[in-house]
Structure 1
Amino acid sequence: MLHAKLLRSPQPHAVIESIDVQRARAHPGVHLVLTGKDFPVPFGIMPVSQDEYPLAPERVRYVGDPVAAVIARDEQTAGEALELIEVKYRALPTIATPEEALAHPETRIHDYGESGNIHRNQAYEFGDVDEALAHSDHVFDDVFFYEGNTHLPIEQQASLAAIDGEGKLLLSSSTQNPHYLHRQLARVLQMPASQIRVIACSNGGGFGGKCDPGGHEFVVCKAALLLGRPVKIGLTRQEVFYVHRGRHPVLMRLRTGVSQDGRLTAMHLQTLLDGGAYGSHGPAATFYSGVLTPVTYELPRFKFEACRVFTNKPACGPKRGHGTPQPRFGQEIQLDKIAEKLALDPAELRLGMVTRPGSLTASWLRVGTTGLAECIRKVVEMSGWKDKHRKLPAGRGVGIACSTYMCGAGVSIYWNKMPHSGVQLLVDRSGQVTVFCGSTEIGQGSDDVLAAIVAEVLGVDTGVVRCVTGDTAITPVDLGSYSSRVTIMMGNAAVQAAERMREQFAGAVAEQLGTTPERVVFSQGRVFAAEDPGRGMSFAEAVAITESKLGTLSAVGSYTPPKPPGKYKGGGVGPSPAYSFSACVVEVEVDEKTGWIHVPKIWIAHDIGRAINPVLARGQVIGSVYMGLGEALMEEQAFRRLPPKLSGALVHRIPSMLDYKSLTALDMPEVEVALIEDPDPNCPFGAKEVGQGPLLPVMPAVANAIYDAVGVRIDELPITPDKVLAALELKAAGKPPRIGPERFPEVPYPKPMFVLPPWEGGDGNESKMPRPLGVAAS
């Protein structure tokens, strides 16, 4: 086996004028050196953003962009050879912030996009928002900032490529999406997809960071093809920071109208996303920075403008919650400000505006079942909210926030009419059930859910169910582990396959049981007649009888989400078969002398539909709380410029776990979890997602609790002690006790697409604005 290492750019933005690899090639133990010219075809997870190369051919766009690869007998030799490669760069102007990206369109990071450095720019309006705001009793106008952060999976990315015994390319990799990686490998390597096999190894955490294809995966595959030997690469922790694809830094402005009795009338949400150097999942993230906003609370009219720009930093992408934590942070803090202005309890304010089951939002998203009201009531009860809010001693406080999240995206990343998930069952005469599915286990427990669903339908113990997953050569396609889609989509496909298998058994054994097929019961490893449970047989005996009649036993199932009700262009982003809901109360203790924040306890209730495995589900909720609390208090993917004498490059401020702050076990508070069960008919056994939604309310609940404790508003993340102290100093000086962005820049948003809400006569299509744009509402 050979080992690969990557040479990465020390420049944030530069043209590669020359690259000399002769000395590296001559180094003892080196088998191959690859450069950008070996990869003429770009890649990208989304068809509209295929803007990356495995190795940069002409230009680098951030510090860490890979430019060459060495394949050698071991890692040490490969690392030595990297130092022998000579690259001559011609520096280009560097774009460090979204404001710079907008101000300098002449310095284009990419030659495609809306214009200048704008990658995506979009605007939607559902009902006349200006008219609604003009007639609101109160209008709140706030600006918030959410700093970017990264995933920190325990396992770093690693890949092993080889040529198998059939002469086909085999890649075993720590990926969340083997199907999409499979497609991109075929594209970049210019090979038939049938000649490529991708195995998604069990991941040591993903959280979205392993959704994108990685340049290192293409490199080891190319090397294996050229050398005919296995080639392995394992990224260092520093390289994982460079690959990134984490949370977008987002600046937000929310103008929200409200009635005197605490009902929302309209909202105008503007977002500006720092996308980093490449497209990645950026088009989806741009939508998600606002599109789910109307799902949580009743919002009669909604306007959403979003802009994503390129900067010379590692590309941002999907991190747990993908684009939705940022606007949720802003809205939930603003709701607390509204509650204070109207002298209403923040929990009661939210209870009075939750969306209703079966309703359509202003943006044409279909809400299925919703347990948000029950979630709010539960955390209020568990936390003793009514005895604590505004009643605790100085320095102590509680805050509440809510959220919603999708149970899988309604459309796939590339347009097609095929199912989103497929499952195949094979049952042999021993009674063993083997389940094949392309789903990927990344530590969230999807294999356990798959086995449990099949076992439940067939009435057997999970111990007789064997799962084979995440292998593009032998499993049906599943689109991957992202957007909390696996339980719902894989699960529905599994139910269909298992029910088809059960029908075969029932038809075969009914006569022997003296009953009709529909009266055959499968339970606890036995198959028997409903009217006479004593007349039955073991599951294995039923299998043998059925196989003797029908031959080899197999069944397939698949799942395609329902068509979205919104018919306007862009209406396919946001719809989901179901939505989960969460409510969270956080208690804090703030030291007014140091600004130090201690969180002793968190209460969270999650509307899960039905918990297939309550232990795993609670673990997912607690994991979300852990990640959310880290984002609230300390995590940030920040950058700095080196002094001019050291090149002035834009570099990570903290590209290692020595300095990047995250919670330790000592920082983690007690978490009390309540799972609210209200089964959704669109989901398998009613089960909704639990992997991402519970993260969303944690950050704003912390901010609201700090305000309750010491009376200061921190309208940006992370909330650090220095910011609390600065706000307390403002408070002592009689100034507004707030730390956060002061203004939202001028962004050249396009003319909004106008769509009438359902209750105003809309049909889901784009329509005409009731008054000409630019004419003030009366």
Structure 2
Amino acid sequence: MEQREAAATGEPCMRVDAVAKATGRARYTDDYVMAGMCYARYVRSPIAHGYASKIDCTEAKALNGVLAVFTWEDVPEIPFATAGHAWTLDAGKRDVADRLLLTRHVRHYGDGVAIVVARDELTAEKAALLVKVEWEELPVITTPHAALAEDAVAIHPSGNTLKYSEIMAGDPVKVIADAEHQVSGHYQTPVIQHCHMEGVTSFAWMEEDARITIVSSTQIPHIVRRVVAQALDIAWSRIRVIKPYVGGGFGNKQDVLEEPMAAFLTLKLGGIPVKVMLSREECFTATRTRHAFTIDGQLGISRDGILKGYMLDVLSNTGAYASHGHSIAAAGGNKIPYLYPRIAFGYRATTCYTNLPSAGAMRGYGAPQVVFALEAMLDDAAAELGIDPVEIRLRNAAREGDLNPVNQKVILSAGLPECLIQGREIFEWDKRKEACQGQQGNLRRGVGVACFSYTSNTWPVGVEISGARLLLNQDGTINVQSGATEIGQGADTVFSQMVAETVGVLVSSVRVISTQDTDVTPFDPGAFASRQSYVAAPALRQAALQMREKILHHAALMLHQSAMNLTLNRGDVVLTERPNAPLLSVADIAMDAFYHPERGGQLSAEASVKTTTNPPAFGCTFVDLTVDVDLCKITINRILNMHDSGHILNPVLAEGQVHGGMGMGIGWSIFEEMIIDEKTGVVRNPNLLDYKMPTMLDLPELECGFVDTHEPQSAYGHKSLGEPPIIPVAAAIRNAVRMATGVAINTLPLTPKRLFSEFREAGLI
């Protein structure tokens, strides 16, 4: 059967940016070069905590090609926040402003005390090495428990506790104590890095009207504009941010990273273009990481597997500066009550400063850490009660009509039971589980399962707003400008499908302009919280409906018909009762609107919408693995992710998103950790050789499936998908290892050295 070109959501179509990226025509930040571009290089701290007591820049300034050297004495004394959150009018809810452009008081290995600007990169690097700094060292704190000790040195004037919060629904302590069976555990997750292919890079110059333009690889161009202006104490409108193609971010670029410095340098140097580009080593030490969590959990359950309540006590390590800070720990607690909602729920979280590299947003935003603990406890309960792990989850899984126990919101779409049922059949769970019984040898096989829930934006914690603008071109194509940011996740493609479906044209007739420019692009906070397709959809739909109405109105003028009798079908105007008999093409209408001597004009439409709904997505991971006990090695034989993300907008893109998340989840589970010296705070593996991130050859075949539900609060029936695939992977792998070996390992990652210590303690080796 001949496949027709896509004209709606739910239909597979090729990514709109596929050819540009595959052929190398897509232009990223580093592809843009300006005449007279100068380059900056930081002078960074070789210690994790202390003061720069003396600095000598004489030799660096004397080097031929050096334009300037700036130290902490030269930057504005304006603390600013870097987290990529929408601004709030409530001062008490704003991100913590604890960072300066350069600092004398260094708080992590690699903190910046000075910066050199030179005519070329090599000269800048040489000059940075010539800056002499004398250091006054302070005690280094790398763990939350050390940070919270009574005699701990204060990392910030406010102390080492960033924030504490708790969420309570019912009386979880009493409910757990009264339950027929209790499970408890202590869980730890590691510091890891995002390792996006494109590093952190930006450059800035000053326009003739003293406005500063910044080109940056960022997930949040409109937020960058605001934060840069705040850091430099200038009007927001004096900053313009341009975002070209982005080579991955995964949350690291949901922080405002080097853009304020680039703007400061061009401001100080008379407007010349200055580029601030970090090396891969600097990305490890001076950008952001995933928060390490320490979690103590308790769970109460009946003997027949009905969950009564659970409580999690979380200690989150935010590192040297707040960045997203306590938002990560708080979000982890807010996203999971949807999962098993018919319970008493308790969640207490403390976030503290340490002398580690700053932690920030990373795919999953606290949920992978929290789900790891919850799903480990539930699996341990299933084993102790003799209940099948899939069955115990089916007995407790969210269903349509359930209430979130914390916010009392009704769950209007919940495909988690179907994910478990269909996944169990596709995965052949019963057969595989049976094969894991009674093992005694060196090679031991296990199967595991874990579930998740995850919301579709940040409401009501954050303001959710998105804008869209549509312009009809002379040839009948439609240009779409959206503040929502394409960073590789496929947003531009599904936006094209949304507009095409609503207007009534083919996807090939819609062009989403991927390069954002804050001077002209409608406002949207950016790409984070798995929000883009959900929050951008209402604005795109409203604008598309306006465009459709204008096209039909003009067609009615041309045809001397009532617009009520007309409709659009795949780019043609037809009579409603004769949909297969084209009367005019959209191109015909566009030409008439532009060039008829009397009627018409360029047809355009614009909308900006605030979203106040936030439905949860659900899903689960099944894994079959083999543990080599002697070699302390895990081999994944099969892994399957099942998702309820509502109506799937593009099946091919959705599969790609899930595969990417699964790969990251496997990396977090059994490969990746930043090795940081506990005494000195020095990062020992800040590169892609020593940091063991899995490649394609290290991953098994990745499988996924979707339960197609319809979310009634959504403009196109869909829910979040970007972050969820990573969330349950680690817990499923941990649970499979427990089934295979009988050893419950509650500390990630499950590397050979971790398995060795756990197996030796358990007496297996």
Relative to the length of structure 2, the TM-score reads 0.89
Q: CA offset at residue 106 of structure 1?
A: 4.7
Equivalent in the alignment of 1:543:
590
Equivalent in the alignment of 1:426:
471
Equivalent in the alignment of 1:762:
none
Q: Secondary structure at the match of 1:685?
A: coil
2-structure distance, mates of 1:638, 1:338 = 33
2-structure distance, mates of 1:4, 1:524 = 51
Q: Is the 2:336–2:452 Cα contact (8 Å) retained in structure 1?
A: no
Q: Is the 2:326–2:350 Cα contact (8 Å) retained in structure 1?
A: no
- Deviation string, structure 1 residues 333-363 (Cα, Å, up to 9, x no partner): 1111111122111101111111122432111
Q: CA offset at residue 105 of structure 1?
A: 5.3
Q: Is the 2:342–2:402 Cα contact (8 Å) retained in structure 1?
A: no
Match of 1:554 among 600, 604, 611: 604
Q: CA offset at residue 498 of structure 1?
A: 0.4
Q: Secondary structure at the match of 1:210?
A: helix
Equivalent in the alignment of 1:79:
125
Q: CA offset at residue 464 of structure 1?
A: 2.4
Equivalent in the alignment of 1:488:
534
Q: Return the letter of the residue paired with 2:604.
A: S
Q: Is the 1:44–1:212 Cα contact (8 Å) retained in structure 2?
A: no
1-structure distance, mates of 2:728, 2:616 = 15
1-structure distance, mates of 2:299, 2:353 = 29
Q: CA offset at residue 432 of structure 1?
A: 2.3
Q: Is the 1:8–1:68 Cα contact (8 Å) retained in structure 2?
A: yes
Q: 1:629 aligned to 2:666?
A: yes
2-structure distance, mates of 1:693, 1:615 = 17
Equivalent in the alignment of 1:405:
454
What are the residue-to-residue correspondences of 1:464-475 with 2, within 5 Å?
A: 464-469=509-514, 470-475=516-521
Q: Secondary structure at the match of 1:694?
A: helix
Structure 2 residue runs without a partner (length 5+): 1-36, 84-93
Equivalent in the alignment of 1:200:
243
Match of 1:376 among 420, 438, 442: 420
Gap change, CA 1:522 and 1:166, over 3 Å in 2:
farther
Equivalent in the alignment of 2:294:
251
2-structure distance, mates of 1:22, 1:330 = 54
- Paired residue total: 706
What are the residue-to-residue correspondences of 1:269-280 with 2, within 5 Å?
A: 269-280=312-323
Q: 1:97 aligned to 2:143?
A: yes
Gap change, CA 1:193 and 1:347, over 3 Å in 2:
same
Q: CA offset at residue 207 of structure 1?
A: 0.4
Q: Is the 1:45–1:280 Cα contact (8 Å) retained in structure 2?
A: yes
Q: Is the 1:513–1:535 Cα contact (8 Å) retained in structure 2?
A: no
Match of 2:97 among 44, 50, 63: 50
Equivalent in the alignment of 1:670:
701
Equivalent in the alignment of 1:178:
221
Q: Is the 1:21–1:33 Cα contact (8 Å) retained in structure 2?
A: yes
Seq. identity, %: 35
Q: Is the 1:455–1:462 Cα contact (8 Å) retained in structure 2?
A: yes
Equivalent in the alignment of 1:218:
260
2-structure distance, mates of 1:276, 1:339 = 36
What are the residue-to-residue correspondences of 1:188-337 with 2, within 5 Å?
A: 188-214=231-257, 216-227=258-269, 228-337=271-380
Q: Is the 2:191–2:292 Cα contact (8 Å) retained in structure 1?
A: yes
Equivalent in the alignment of 1:570:
none
Q: Is the 2:118–2:124 Cα contact (8 Å) retained in structure 1?
A: yes
2-structure distance, mates of 1:138, 1:515 = 73
Q: Is the 2:319–2:352 Cα contact (8 Å) retained in structure 1?
A: yes
Equivalent in the alignment of 1:19:
55
Q: CA offset at residue 519 of structure 1?
A: 4.5
Q: CA offset at residue 682 of structure 1?
A: 2.2
2-structure distance, mates of 1:723, 1:535 = 67
Equivalent in the alignment of 1:725:
756
Q: Return the letter of the residue paired with 2:282.
A: E
Equivalent in the alignment of 1:452:
497
- Deviation string, structure 1 residues 502-556 (Cα, Å, up to 9, x no partner): 1222233346557653443222111111112325210122334556645332111
Q: CA offset at residue 303 of structure 1?
A: 1.3
Q: Is the 2:300–2:309 Cα contact (8 Å) retained in structure 1?
A: yes
Q: Secondary structure at the match of 2:333?
A: coil
Q: CA offset at residue 146 of structure 1?
A: 1.0
Match of 1:531 among 577, 594, 609: 577
Q: Secondary structure at the match of 1:291?
A: helix
Q: 1:351 aligned to 2:413?
A: no
2-structure distance, mates of 1:179, 1:330 = 36
Q: Is the 1:260–1:342 Cα contact (8 Å) retained in structure 2?
A: yes
Q: Return the letter of the residue paired with 1:75.
A: E
Q: 1:620 aligned to 2:657?
A: yes
Q: Return the letter of the residue paired with 2:343.
A: P
What are the residue-to-residue correspondences of 1:752-767 with 2, within 5 Å?
A: none
Q: Is the 2:95–2:324 Cα contact (8 Å) retained in structure 1?
A: no
Relative to the length of structure 1, the TM-score reads 0.88
- Deviation string, structure 1 residues 424-454 (Cα, Å, up to 9, x no partner): 1111332121111122211101111222211
- Indicate the larger mover: 664-673 or 500-509: 500-509
What are the residue-to-residue correspondences of 1:512-591 with 2, within 5 Å?
A: 516-533=562-579, 534=581, 536-545=583-592, 549-562=599-612, 577-591=614-628
Gap change, CA 1:172 and 1:105, over 3 Å in 2:
farther
Q: Secondary structure at the match of 1:6?
A: strand
- Deviation string, structure 1 residues 651-675 (Cα, Å, up to 9, x no partner): 1121111111111222110112112
1-structure distance, mates of 2:553, 2:488 = 38
Gap change, CA 1:203 and 1:426, over 3 Å in 2:
same
Structure 1 residue runs without a partner (length 5+): 563-575, 642-647, 738-778
- Deviation string, structure 1 residues 672-727 (Cα, Å, up to 9, x no partner): 21122112122232122211101111101101111222222111100122333333
Q: Is the 1:389–1:708 Cα contact (8 Å) retained in structure 2?
A: no
- Deviation string, structure 1 residues 458-488 (Cα, Å, up to 9, x no partner): 1222222222242211101111100101011
- Deviation string, structure 1 residues 571-603 (Cα, Å, up to 9, x no partner): xxxxx5221111111110111221111112211
Equivalent in the alignment of 2:11:
none
Q: 1:682 aligned to 2:717?
A: no
Equivalent in the alignment of 2:675:
638
Q: CA offset at residue 365 of structure 1?
A: 5.4
Q: Is the 1:390–1:397 Cα contact (8 Å) retained in structure 2?
A: no
Query: What RMSD over aligned residues (CA atoms) do the two structures have, in Å?
Result: 1.9
1-structure distance, mates of 2:54, 2:754 = 46
Q: Is the 2:213–2:239 Cα contact (8 Å) retained in structure 1?
A: yes
- Deviation string, structure 1 residues 381-421 (Cα, Å, up to 9, x no partner): 111001111433631111111111111111465xx6xx611
